[in-house]
Amino acid sequence: MKKKLGLIVNPVAGMGGRVGLKGSDGEEIQKRARELGAHPESPRRAMDALERLATIKDDIEIITYPDEMGEKEARECGFEPVVIGSVEPGKTSAKDTIKAAREMAEQKVDLILFAGGDGTARNLYDALGDNGVPVIGIPAGVKIHSAVYATNSRNAGEVALMYLQEKIKKVQDSEVMDIDEDAFREGRVTAKLYGYLKVPHEERLVQHLKSGRTEGEVAALNSIADDITESMEDDVLYIIGPGTTTRAVMEKLGLKNTLLGVDVVLNKQLVASDVIESQLLDLIKGKKAKIVVTIIGGQGYIFGRGNQQLSPKVLRAIGKQNITVITPQNKLSAIGNNPLLIDTGDYEANSMLSGYYKVVTGYQRTVMRKAE
Amino acid sequence: MGIVKIKKDFHEARWCEPIIYEMSTPGQRGILVPMPDDEIKAAAGDVLAAIPAKLRRKELNLPEMDQKHVLQHYVRLSQETLGANLTNDISEGTCTMKYNPRVNEDLAAHPNFAELHPCQDEDTVQGILEIYYKFEQIIKQISGMDRVTFQPGGGNHAVYTAASIVRAYWESKGELGKRDEVITTIFSHPCDAATPATAGFKVITLYPDKDGFPDIEALKAAVSERTAAIFMTNPEDIGLYNPRVDEFVKIVHSVGGLCFYDQANANAFLGVARAIEAGFDMCHFNVHKTFGTPHGSSGPANGAFCCKEEFAKFLPVPTVGFDGKKYYLDYDHPASFGKVRDFYGTAGVVLRAYAWTMNLGADGLRECADISVINNNYFEKKLLEIPGLSECYAGNGHRRQEQVRYSWEKLKEDTGVGTVEVCNRVVDYGIPHYWFSHHPWEVPEPMTLEPCESYSKDDLDEYAEVLRTVSKEAYENPEIVMTAPHKASAHKRNDDAALDDPAKWATTWKAYVRKHRK
């Protein structure tokens, strides 16, 4: 049976970037971008990715949305796609992306290849939720904080190729993140962790196509969780940040976990779930507390993206020496020689938190990484 | 090499040889052991009764075959490898494939040596003890250290010996509980992290700075009163020699930590630089990487572990001594941490290494380093002209030493052909599968090559020409590279997960039967 590939192109993704608009969400902005002379970025990038699939043209069926949402790109690359749904050319919006992803899931596609930015990834998450349809993103947007994207268009094509050829068999939960664009244009960053989508995963190929073969995700998480839970001290509050790596710690303790939020543990028991800043400040008052966080998203942020509950106030009260960063080795390798990133929105807090961390990568195993 | 530059028409033998267990025919025998004569039976009594009951088996799960077919099977298997003595094995960067002179093999096979037994009385093995003692004196000069042991069965094992000594040292000071961290670097050999971990230490790994050297600021942030030691390689795996290594030593010493220098592969600096002048407390040499003995894969191999006098009391027993008249095995080390291997190491390897070193002399050792570095300089320059190939940390202003970690990242971007595919394709030209990198792959699409002093200019040219040819193929006809190897005895694995999935992999016949023939 032919493999089915869903193809979604967000035709306006990336338009804002070239003209300094920090994002392209919203009709007004798209209009302004056009006035400023912006051209769509995503069609060309989608075609770069599709060219990688030329070798298996006859073995796959592409299911896509009309016109500029994928049909055009597929045809230009020599495919004869099955076109579903309907759109109003030149006036497509987030609603169309969501509709397209839903309908493709109903058609039981094996994978959705999509071109866009964080907003597009969010639309896919809205449509697909936890239903398990794997996706791989072609980075075409202004903001790429989500970890569902390949490092470039061609690599997105290659990942799709290898997944459809069953050379990649595993999928991994990867973060969908987005920033409030209105705030971003005013210079404030408030990135939120929206959820997780399944992304084809073979370490050498997906983690920036470079990290080699390591011990495997499950073993790595288990060994990190062993390290953290064994070294937990009595009568110390442990504030566990969001993410799949920290989830492994909670699972090891047998505690309910908030994947997208912050939980608090004391003497290996859950004392508060999905807390907000004010609750945290109350809880830690006069107590010894430690924070356990992991890298959120594809860029290496440990604070300020997806875990804003850990506010400058909270972080100041707890102090850098009481922060433990945990991550599997492959995620570190994926950010290459770049530092870990901190952006709490408070300059002083950022500088207080910057410097070296002994990042836990396994049982009794750490690496020195700088954060700035 | 004459006019033939590369072996375009190479083809490896392909026997599709079954596993020996699958060739078994019940009842077939290689040797029919005769029953003992009645006279002997009467004198010896029931010999089986002497074997403990738990060691007696009713059935032996061994293949049943005649001699001719056993020999045939193993000769065929040997033809299906591209091993040492057969091919241009510059491929094995970080591993140092040196030529093992035949004359040394003859020495080791000589009955006067080969028939020695480790349980013989000291008086009857004075010759080999003398060689142990004299080779120790040589290694002391090469390293600058005060004592050496050849007990470890390989390089990693010598590093484990270092970790055991660090443990014994802190235990003797009553600080083992507090000193529980060992620092290493990401481009050091992985045993510098693995063996301290095995010895019970927590391991902290330093990442490189922008020039590819271990980040010295990270070291400053990592050291504390918990630092037991640093274990580091130099030059590191990527071929860069850390010129600030003495500063690293000072920083670790300043908090009381010990310093171990992994010099497994000393080809870049034999006779040029020594561990003692860099300030280290301990070091080791992997005898097959540096002193021309065959690779032994931590079995019949040898690691020379060296230390300062202060740590000699912790060395594994026995050490070899000389009282002016006689060589002897010295077990009188009450503070010794014990043993890392039976008896006193792999004598055959020490003999070969001693012969190799004596043949070259001090000047010859220095020349080995010079040729290794010159070979590498020539090879590097030639290889960097190949389209799609680059080296890591290019342009950092520092020369590579004896090896280089290259990257096919550009080729991959341009053509889709990455290092795995190139590696599969070189096999079609009679070149063994090359070494990528230790894990994790910090350098994308890596390839690590090491043209030590054993290789001629023709060897270097052949190797470079094969890589150039494969690069050209990748740009012009990538399919032929993507589907390689075409001329090897075995093709690609048909199930990659078989290596990753504990439920699937099987490294022994027993495991295979258990997992796949239920």
CA distance B75 to A199: 47
Closest CA to B509 of B9, B22, B16: B22
Residue B32 lies in a domain: no
Q: Which residue in chain B has the smallest CA separation from A153?
A: B413
Residue B232 lies in a domain: yes
Amino acid symbol at B204: I
Residue B212 lies in a domain: yes
Mean pLDDT by 10 residues, chain B (518 residues): 78 92 93 90 85 86 94 94 86 90 96 93 96 98 97 94 98 96 96 97 96 96 98 96 96 98 95 96 96 80 96 96 96 95 90 97 96 97 98 95 96 92 95 91 93 95 97 97 93 70 82 85
pLDDT given at position A335: 81
pLDDT given at position A333: 78
Backbone angles phi, psi at B229, to 5 degrees: -170, 165
Q: Are residues A197 and A299 in the same domain?
A: no
Closest CA to A327 of A207, A189, A191, A210: A207
Q: How many beta carbons lie within 10 A of that of residue B282, not counting itself?
A: 28
Residue B516 lies in a domain: no
Q: Is the dihedral of CA B486, B491, B495, B498 positive or negative?
A: negative
Q: What is the span of the domain harbouring residue A318?
A: 217-371
Residue A50 lies in a domain: yes
Q: Is the Cβ of B496 closer than 8 Å to some Cβ of chain A?
A: yes
Residue B328 lies in a domain: yes
Of A178, A206, A234, the one marking the end of a domain is: A206
Q: Are residues A64 and A135 in the same domain?
A: yes
Residue B300 lies in a domain: yes
Q: Which residue in chain B has the smallest CA separation from A366?
A: B204
Q: Are residues A224 and A202 in the same domain?
A: no
CATH number of the domain bearing residue A147: 3.40.50.10330
Of A206, A238, A268, the one marking the end of a domain is: A206
Which residue in this structure is represented by tokens 């394709």?
B425
Contact between chains at A212 and B440 (C-beta distance less than 8 A)? yes
| pLDDT digits 0-9 by tens, A130-171 | 888 999 999 888 778 888 988 778 889 989 999 999 888 888
pLDDT given at position A299: 80
Q: Are residues A114 and A183 in the same domain?
A: yes
Q: Is the Cβ of B337 closer than 8 Å to some Cβ of chain A?
A: no
Q: Are residues A221 and A148 in the same domain?
A: no
In B80-190, which ranges are continuous DSSP H helix? 102-109, 111-114, 126-143, 155-172
User: How far apart are the CA of B373 and the nearest CA of chain A, in angstroms?
Assistant: 28
Q: Chain B window 434-453: which residues touch A at a Cβ cutoff of 8 Å?
A: 436-437, 439-446
Q: Based on the structure, what is the number of domains in chain A?
A: 2
Q: Are residues A117 and A252 in the same domain?
A: no
How far, rounded to the nearest angstrom, does the alpha carbon of residue A173 sit from its chain's CA centroid? Answer: 9
Contacts of B91 (CB under 8 A, 6+ apart): B97, B426, B431, B432, B433, B434, B435, B449
CATH number of the domain bearing residue B147: 3.40.640.10
CA distance B302 to B351: 11
Residue A212 lies in a domain: no
pLDDT given at position A205: 45
* Among the ranges given (A177-186, A288-297, B248-257), the one the predictor scored with the smallest mean pLDDT: A177-186
Q: Based on the structure, what is the number of domains in chain B?
A: 1
Q: Are residues A193 and A241 in the same domain?
A: no
Higher local confidence (pLDDT), A213 or A349: A349
List chain A residues with CB under 8 Å of B437. 212
| Average pLDDT along chain A | 87
Contact between chains at B203 and A366 (C-beta distance less than 8 A)? yes
Contact between chains at B207 and A213 (C-beta distance less than 8 A)? no
List chain A residues with CB under 8 Å of B217. 356, 370
Q: What is the span of the domain harbouring residue B113?
A: 107-357
How far, rounded to the nearest angstrom, does the alpha carbon of residue B455 sit from its chain's CA centroid? Answer: 19
Residue A211 lies in a domain: no
Contact between chains at A367 and B207 (C-beta distance less than 8 A)? yes
Residue B299 lies in a domain: yes
- Of A158, A365, A366, nearest to B416 by CB-CB distance is A158
Q: How many beta carbons lie within 10 A of that of residue A21, not counting itself?
A: 20
Measured CA distances, A99 to A27, A69, A125, B93 (Å): 18, 12, 12, 53
Q: Are B431 and B87 in contact (CB under 8 A)?
A: yes
DSSP B492: -
Percentage of residues in chain A with pLDDT exceeding 90?
A: 57
Q: Are residues A233 and A127 in the same domain?
A: no
Contact between chains at B444 and A365 (C-beta distance less than 8 A)? no
Cis peptide bond N-terminal to B243, omega within 30:
no
pLDDT given at position A183: 65
DSSP A305: B
pLDDT given at position A24: 65
Q: Are residues A201 and A227 in the same domain?
A: no
**Which of A159, A205, A364, A365 to probe the B interface (max B CBs under 10 A)?**
A364
Q: Are residues A149 and A224 in the same domain?
A: no
- Of A337, A368, A370, nearest to B204 by CB-CB distance is A368
Q: Are residues A193 and A240 in the same domain?
A: no
Q: Are residues A279 and A155 in the same domain?
A: no
List chain A residues with CB under 8 Å of B215. 368, 370
Residue A265, pLDDT above cutoff 50: yes
pLDDT given at position A136: 95
Amino acid symbol at A361: T
Contact between chains at A364 and B436 (C-beta distance less than 8 A)? no
Contact between chains at B496 and A167 (C-beta distance less than 8 A)? yes
Closest CA to B285 of B392, B189, B377: B189
pLDDT given at position B500: 67
pLDDT given at position A208: 39
Closest CA to B417 of B473, B468, B460: B473
Residue A191 lies in a domain: yes
Q: Are A293 and A245 in contact (CB under 8 A)?
A: no
Q: Is the Cβ of A333 closer than 8 Å to some Cβ of chain B?
A: yes
pLDDT given at position B344: 82
